[in-house]
Amino acid sequence: MTQRTRRAAVALTAALLTATGCSAEGGPATPGQRPVERPAPSSAGGPAAAARGFTLVATGDVLPHTSVIRQAAADAGGDGHDFRPMLAGARSVVAPADIAICHMETVYGPAGGPFSGYPAFVSPPSVAAALRATGYDSCSTASNHTLDDGSAGLRRTLDALDAAGVKHAGSARTAAEARRPAWLRGGTAKVAQLAYTYGTNDIPLPKGRPWAVNLIDEGRMVADARAARRAGADVVVVSVHWGTEWQDEPDERQLALARRLTASKTAGRPDVDLILGTHAHVPQAYQKVNGSWVIYGMGDQVAGQMFNHEGQRDERGNMSSLGRFTFAPPAKRGQAWRVTRAEFVPQWFDTDSGRVRVGGAVPSRVRAHVRQVVLSRGAAAQGLRQGG
């Protein structure tokens, strides 16, 4: 959609709506269906003047701990839960983007609760409306907490996202839904979002529903990306829930999978254009691998006070980055869309106020740490810049 259309839609929505486990708050961690959407024929092969580029913004884990749920109840003035004030600080970066992608790590409970934080997360469904009001178009929903409340929680989550107008990828209510990506539009490009997780905290997939949550499998991920391309995707974005918790550096499995996914090509064109990582609780590096950008980990966008594996309060768990990428159309049909501008924006969840802070509103020590980690694998020399 155009930025003008996006702003109008967001404003209307706001008016109408007036590994192992995740460690936090008190101790260390222990080791109706959306209609089928058919993309229109690609315009990328038309005259160069007719094709338009787009911006894509991505953010990290939305992980409502008990304190976060209490804050949303206070912000609602005693009538339900309102997460819009909490997320409002990110809107200045999220809403202007042509496409904005989040990671919804937890599942939703019934409208009246009960709700819970760590270790088995069940969040208020009003999170979905707040995500839309902030400007998000789609969320990855594959995580180690996707089955915390079984099939019912998974279904309620996707139903609530649908009702709010937020698309989703990574978990599914039906086999047919599991086979298709989230279809998004940016400029004249059709964008497919796919999503996968390393596991579900040893909770087995629902009986007879092996497709309920997408698990990391390199062969399947490549096959899904190629299928999306055949279905008309100009750009394929893969969201991956992976990595080692509390580790600033990407682990060997992340590095190896990123190399293999970005090296996969069809007719000389990359099968995967962008990888968005979540799960580690801390910001991790950005890096261009085989010509495609990889964010190994964005960190937690929303979370309560975080405690690391040693049981110590660790403010890195409330640090994150927003990734912003500007894509330009190819000169010729069949060629890849190109990232012409790559940026990161420091982000901080202030647990004292219960608010997301972005850019210049982030404490200087947090900005410095995020910058150091994000650039730790040479991304500055590859063209990554800090945005605001």
On whether the CB atoms of residues 170 and 212 are closer than 8 A, the answer is: no
CA 385 to chain centre: 20
- Whether residue 36 is contained in a domain is answered as no
Which one is predicted more confidently, 289 or 331? 289
Number of folded domains that form the chain = 1
- Whether residue 287 is contained in a domain is answered as yes
Give the model's pLDDT for residue 317.
98
Tens-digit pLDDT profile for residues 44-60:
444 445 899 999 999 99
Tens-digit pLDDT profile for residues 85-118:
999 999 999 999 999 999 999 999 999 999 999 9
Tens-digit pLDDT profile for residues 139-157:
999 999 999 999 999 999 9
- Whether residue 174 is contained in a domain is answered as yes
pTM of the model: 0.89
What is the average pLDDT value for the chain, to the nearest integer?
91
CATH of the domain at 333: 3.60.21.10
Model confidence at 334, pLDDT cuts 50, 70, 90, reads confident
pLDDT exceeds 50 at position 384: yes
- Whether residue 276 is contained in a domain is answered as yes
pLDDT exceeds 80 at position 12: no
Domain span at 328: 3-20+48-386
Q: What is the DSSP letter of 314?
A: -
H-assigned helices in the chain: 3-16, 66-75, 84-87, 91-94, 127-134, 150-164, 175-178, 218-230, 252-263, 364-374
- Whether residue 29 is contained in a domain is answered as no
Reported for 228-232, long-range contacts at CB under 8 A and 24+ positions apart, including other chains, are 228/181, 228/192, 228/194, 229/192, 229/266, 229/269, 229/271, 231/38, 231/39, 231/192, 232/39, 232/40, 232/41, 232/42, 232/190
Give the model's pLDDT for residue 333.
85
- Whether residue 185 is contained in a domain is answered as yes
Rounded distance between C-alpha atoms, residue 311 and residue 334, angstroms: 52
Collapsing DSSP to helix, strand or coil, 121 comes out as coil
The residue assigned the tokens 């410095």 is 368
pLDDT exceeds 80 at position 9: no
- Whether residue 221 is contained in a domain is answered as yes
- Whether residue 34 is contained in a domain is answered as no
Give the model's pLDDT for residue 22.
56
